[in-house]
Amino acid sequence: MRLASHTGTDASAGIRAHWTMGKQFGISYFRKEISFEDRVRFSFPQISGYMAAGNVDEFTFFLAFLSLSPEDFQHPVLQDIYRKWAMDKNEAIATMLEIAWEEEFS
């Protein structure tokens, strides 16, 4: 995954930008039919299998991305980039929930 494509803004702004772009392309933000178990087990190395099975949406992707830690990146520069990008994960998660609420009632 290209970390740089996800770190141009802070996490909350990035999530909102991807959500807006996803809406333009008809990408589902939150699909109710994806089980909690599939959301928890999602992993980036196996993303193609999840996509083929239809078991990924933006919410799952963002949750997995925010679940990473700087140590998940091998290169120190990438660790530092991710650390700075994800400084306020709580705000980003709140943004994810706000969007889910907006999607539910829009």
Residue type, 33: E
State yes or no: pLDDT of 6 exceeds 80. no
Calpha distance 27→89 (Å, rounded): 23
For residue 1, give the 3-state DSSP assignment.
coil
38: nearest Cα among 68, 60, 66:
60
- What residues contact residue 82 under an 8 Å CB cut-off, 6+ apart? 3, 7, 68, 69, 70, 72, 73
pLDDT tens profile 28-67: 899 989 999 999 889 888 989 988 988 889 999 999 989 9
The model carries a pTM of 0.79
Averaged pLDDT for residues 61-82: 92
18: nearest Cα among 53, 80, 60:
60
The domain total for the chain is 1
pLDDT band of 5, cuts 50, 70, 90: low
**Residue percentage of the chain with pLDDT more than 70:** 91
State yes or no: pLDDT of 1 exceeds 50. no
For residue 57, give the 3-state DSSP assignment.
coil
Domain that holds residue 19: 3-104
The whole-number pLDDT of residue 92 equals 92
Better-predicted residue by pLDDT, 8 or 78: 78
For residue 84, give the 3-state DSSP assignment.
helix
Is there a contact between 15 and 96 (Cβ–Cβ < 8 Å)? yes
